[in-house]
Amino acid sequence: MTDKSISALEPAVDAEGLIEGGVLEVKSAARTVLVLEFLAARQNEPTRLREISEALSVPKSSLYALLRTLCQYGWVRTDASGTLYGIGIRALMTGTSYLDADPYLRLVQPSLDYANEQLNETIHFGRLDGRDIVYLATRESSQYLRPYSRVGRRLPASTTAMGKALFAERSGAALEALLAEPLPRLTPNSITDVGALKAELEATRQRGHSVDLQENTLGLQCFGFALRYANPAMDAISCSVPVARLNPERCETIVAVMSDVRDQIERFAPAPLRSGRDELLVGPVIPSAPRI
């Protein structure tokens, strides 16, 4: 995640310091969240105090005190010299708690296993968060072992198959809001023109699935399918395949299997936990969908 994408997560604050709902923003809490998100986005790159201060426009004196407090509680780690900072192990507790409590993630797990076994390709389950896709589950192909887990990673939705599948579920003001900022370019194939992306979203609606043509990672093509158990859809599944293994017949097989998996998940999904809203709230325990 870039610094810009972190700032995009900040809530709108008016001149009186009020956030949505007329609540006064707690500056120290907001600053703490931004620091944690910044360090998490840096992944394995330890960061100096000056870099964090400049990126977040926070005075070094108050930032230092905040970082030392977060280190004391395990949310931030530092090196022996106390000059480099990274995300701490306590942050893992929050992420795993979210995954463990999510009823829709429990629902899709067997279907992800099935798709992975049938296709022996990498299968993803993700959720739209603002203009980004957050990966909540992955089943790796045995033909390619990624050196890191994609779970928890955040990518620009417009460059991913899952993101485009979910964008295609929206229209009017809701879609325009998602396309209001410049579209990022991650590869030479990334779509950065709003008109071209809208045309691709219309093609997605006609096909019933989206396609990422090496727009996120060169050498990989991805097929995305929105899960319509919420309105508008917030979750999606995808199949990621090296382009060297693709031909028209293989593409048809992937689309057929993934379409069946999508239908199976939707058939056994509960009604949205908050009708007409974008949020998916944690609800009661939901049994997993039976295997296809």
| pLDDT of 20 | 57
pLDDT of 31 strictly over 80? yes
Name the residue among 105, 77, 75 with its Cα closest to residue 92.
75
Residue ranges and CATH numbers for the domains of the chain are 3-92 (1.10.10.10), 102-268 (3.30.450.40)
pLDDT value for 272? 61
Task: For residue 145, name the pLDDT band (cuts at 50, 70, 90).
Answer: low
Query: What is the full DSSP assignment across the chain?
Result: --HHHHHHTSPP--TTSEETTTEEP-HHHHHHHHHHHHHHHHTT--EEHHHHHHHHT--HHHHHHHHHHHHHTTSEEE-TTS-EEEE-THHHHHHHHHHHH-HHHHHHHHHHHHHHHHH-SEEEEEEEETTEEEEEEEE--TT---SS--TT-EEEGGGSHHHHHHHTT--HHHHHHHTSSPPP-SSTT----HHHHHHHHHHHHHHTSEEEESSSSTTEEEEEEEETTSSS--EEEEEEEEGGG--HHHHHHHHHHHHHHHHHHHHHPPPPSSTTSS-----S--PPPPP-
Question: Of 145, 131, 128, whose CA–CA distance to 238 is shortest?
Answer: 128
194 in Cβ contact with 271 (< 8 Å):
no
Of residues 281 and 169, more confidently modeled: 169
* pLDDT tens-digit readout, 195-246: 999 999 999 999 999 999 999 999 999 999 999 998 899 999 999 999 999 9
Over residues 169-188, mean pLDDT: 95
> Quick one: pLDDT at residue 18?
52
Give 35-81 pLDDT, tens digit per residue.
988 888 776 788 899 999 999 999 998 999 999 999 998 899 998 88
pLDDT digit string, tens, across residues 241-266:
999 999 999 999 999 999 999 999 99
Residue 290 has pLDDT above 50, yes or no: no
Q: 192: buried, middle or exposed (CB in 10 Å: 19+, 13-18, 0-12)?
A: middle
- With bands split at pLDDT 50, 70 and 90, how would you rate the model's confidence at 26? confident
Residue percentage of the chain with pLDDT more than 70: 82
Report the pLDDT value the prediction gives residue 37, as an integer from 0 to 100: 86
How far is 290 from 292, CA to CA, in rounded Å? 6
How do strand 122-129 and strand 132-139 relate by DSSP bridges? Answer: antiparallel
pLDDT in tens, 81-140: 888 999 888 887 777 777 777 888 888 999 999 999 999 999 999 999 999 999 999 998
pLDDT of residue 144: 66
